[in-house]
Amino acid sequence: MQQRKGKIIVEESKAESRGGAKKAKNFALTVIAPVLVVAIWFIVTNTGMVRTSILPSPQKVVSTFWSLLSSGKLWTDMSISFIRVLRGFALGALLGMVIGSLMGFSATVNRVLGTMVSILRPIPMLAWIPILILWLGIGESSKTAVIFIGSFWSVLLNTIHGIQSTDVKLLEVARVLEKKRSVFIFKVYLPSALPSIFTGLRLGISSAWTCVVGAEMIAATSGIGYMIHYARELAQPARVYAGVICIGVVGVIIDKGLLVLQRKLLSWAYVDQE
Amino acid sequence: MNQEMNKEIHLSIRGVSKTFHINKGELQVLDDINLEVEKGEFISIVGTSGCGKSTLLKMVIGLEHATKGEIRVGQRVVTKPSIDCGMVFQEARLFPWLTVKENIEFGITREMPKEEQAKLVQHHIELVGLSGFENALPKQLSGGMQQRVSIARALVNKPDVLLLDEPFGALDALTRINMQNEVLKLWEHEKKTMVLVTHDIDEAIFLSDRIVVLSARPGRVMDIISVELPRPRERSSDEFLHIRSKIFKYLTKDATDDVNLGKYL
């Protein structure tokens, strides 16, 4: 009996290590492309194949990054940008969810606003910037507006889609039980739309973050986007790259963080992993 | 079973026909259905697939409307869903974001104090044998358990009539037989009028007082067979098999007619 138990434990630990090997393999697969890119970057810059005024070496970018970080400059610019993103995103998410809900629930509202949505949505961010400057000037409000527009559409469309794709079969259950309209809305439509709304929020904050550089092209004197523009004007390529990479990394962190949150809050919508 | 003299008609279907309009064409699925169900009776409706048996049930619950004819539950003419009728669908149709307990709670439409509600829910969890799974999510349950929750959700509202639309069609054979036994117990215990739509002849004979046999599309009542065997019924008894072959002949004869007809279409 004792022996058997021992054997089982051994097998379990084998299975575990197999699981560990699989995990290691998956990890290797996800990091292989970036590692390769950095390696090539390292080679072409250190052998003089590419001019360092166009592409500084990775070690130069890293040391610039450290000096920016230790001087506190990076932190200040990042937090200023981040607050701008949050302000624009909060507005975009709120309006996106409210208008999206109205359009999802009411065919009339959907018809009235639908045309406007299809006209306005394809307008690229860069085309909005001059208009927003005309309307709002070059202060904070036009920067917030750029980020607002950047995050609004994906929240809006995903909210509409989430509500409209509520399972007819579940709606029939509520109809058979003679439920009130408020129960339909708050207990059936909205919960079933939540995963889609959350996806909209995730896409929204990601695109808000990518819009920040555009927004900080408008007469900014601070922020990560400003830092990048300014560094380019001063011909400091290492600083440009450090800033660009920072934006990418923070974007990944925001997205992954929200994904984890989504899986935790809406665990019912996901198949349990072994 | 229902030998009392003063039989009360609980559900009546009178001259009901249903025609669907599909792509400007017309498709008649039910033709002149007449049926009276007594209070406390267990009725099954069998027929080949596409004969409109599920549509008939949807009209009784009020999710579909008859093209012709009238359906009454008690004195009420059915025009829309009402909580005097409960419905169990082929799929469990549970809300994936609610736990077992919350899903059953959703079945309660009548206003009542919280305590009473909790008691009622707990009682129905026990009734369908799901104690210990109160806080599980639907995705954590097997198909049979999900269907139990769905039955509890339909019963918790205390409907007078329970409609079951092929409720065990998606379950494996053994689970299906278990569930049939459970439904029989529920029926004997709750004394509700039940109408079951099924394509499983054995299931119909095992459970029903009377079996309505529908023809292929458009569905017409071919026969109404009374099953007067004592319950629980032995599935391999001679009488059981006799009824089985009778219904089987109806349904297969009907199917061959359909094939022959196909030649002329």
**How far A194 CA lies from chain B's nearest CA (Å)?**
10
Task: Please write down the long-range contacts of A42-48, taking CB distance under 8 Å and 24 or more positions apart.
Answer: none
Closest residue of chain A to B138, computed from CA coordinates:
A268
Give CA–CA dist A233/A224, Å, rounded: 14
The answer to whether residue B133 sits within a structural domain is no
B93/A187 CB distance under 8 A: no
Phi/psi zone of residue A150: left (φ > 0), alpha (ψ -120 to 50 degrees), beta?
A: alpha
The answer to whether residue B240 sits within a structural domain is yes
Sheet holding B161-165, edge to edge: B85-88, B161-165, B193-198, B42-46, B210-214, B221-226
A176/B96 CB distance under 8 A: no
Host domain of residue B214: 1-83+193-265
pLDDT at B176: 87
- Which residues of A sit within 8 Å Cβ distance of B? 169-170, 172-173, 175-179, 187-188, 191-192, 194, 266-269, 271-272
Helix (H) or strand (E) holding B77: strand B76-77
The answer to whether residue B59 sits within a structural domain is yes
Report whether B235 contacts B206 (CB < 8 A): yes
How many Cβ contacts (< 8 angstroms) between chains A and B?
52
pLDDT at A181: 92
Phi/psi zone of residue B32: left (φ > 0), alpha (ψ -120 to 50 degrees), beta?
A: left
Question: What is the pLDDT averaged over residues A136-158?
Answer: 92
Report whether B69 contacts B18 (CB < 8 A): no
**How far B243 CA lies from chain A's nearest CA (Å)?**
34
Is B129 a residue whose pLDDT tops 90? no
B83/A179 CB distance under 8 A: no
The answer to whether residue B231 sits within a structural domain is yes
* DSSP-assigned beta bridge partners for residue B211: B44, B225
The answer to whether residue B43 sits within a structural domain is yes
Give CA–CA dist B39/A115, Å, rounded: 55
Q: How confident is the model at residue B217 (pLDDT cuts 50, 70, 90)?
A: confident
CATH of the domain at B236: 3.40.50.300
A178/B95 CB distance under 8 A: no
Nearby residues of B79 by Cβ (< 8 Å), 6 or more positions away: B62, B65
Cβ neighbours, 10 Å, residue A108: 10
What is chain B's mean pLDDT, rounded?
87
Q: How many domains does chain B have?
A: 1
In tens, the pLDDT along B39-79 reads 999 999 998 877 888 899 999 999 999 899 999 998 899 88
**How far B56 CA lies from chain A's nearest CA (Å)?**
15
pLDDT at A6: 46
Q: Is B29 helix (H, G, I), strand (E, B) or coil?
A: strand
Of A172, A179, A191, the CB nearest to B109: A179
In tens, the pLDDT along A187-232 reads 999 999 999 999 999 999 988 988 887 788 777 888 998 999 899 8
The answer to whether residue B122 sits within a structural domain is no
Helix pair A58-71, A73-105: axis angle to 10 deg: 90
Q: How confident is the model at residue A161 (pLDDT cuts 50, 70, 90)?
A: very high
What is chain A's mean pLDDT, rounded?
88
The answer to whether residue B171 sits within a structural domain is no
The CA-CA-CA angle for residues B31, B35, B38, to 5°, reads: 165
Question: What is the pLDDT averaged over residues B104-125?
Answer: 92
Helix (H) or strand (E) holding B62: none
Task: Pull the structure tokens for residue A59.
Answer: 């070690």
Q: How confident is the model at residue A5 (pLDDT cuts 50, 70, 90)?
A: very low
Q: How confident is the model at residue A179 (pLDDT cuts 50, 70, 90)?
A: very high
Segments in A106-236 forming alpha helices (H): 107-120, 125-136, 140-164, 168-176, 181-183, 190-215, 224-233
The answer to whether residue B139 sits within a structural domain is no
| Interface confidence (ipTM) of the complex | 0.86
Is B143 a residue whose pLDDT tops 50? yes
In tens, the pLDDT along A68-89 reads 999 998 999 999 999 999 999 9
**How far B138 CA lies from chain A's nearest CA (Å)?**
8
Report whether A118 contacts A177 (CB < 8 A): no
Q: Which amino acid is at B144?
A: G
Question: What is the pLDDT averaged over residues B140-168?
Answer: 91
* Complete domains list, chain A, with CATH: 67-268 (1.10.3720.10)
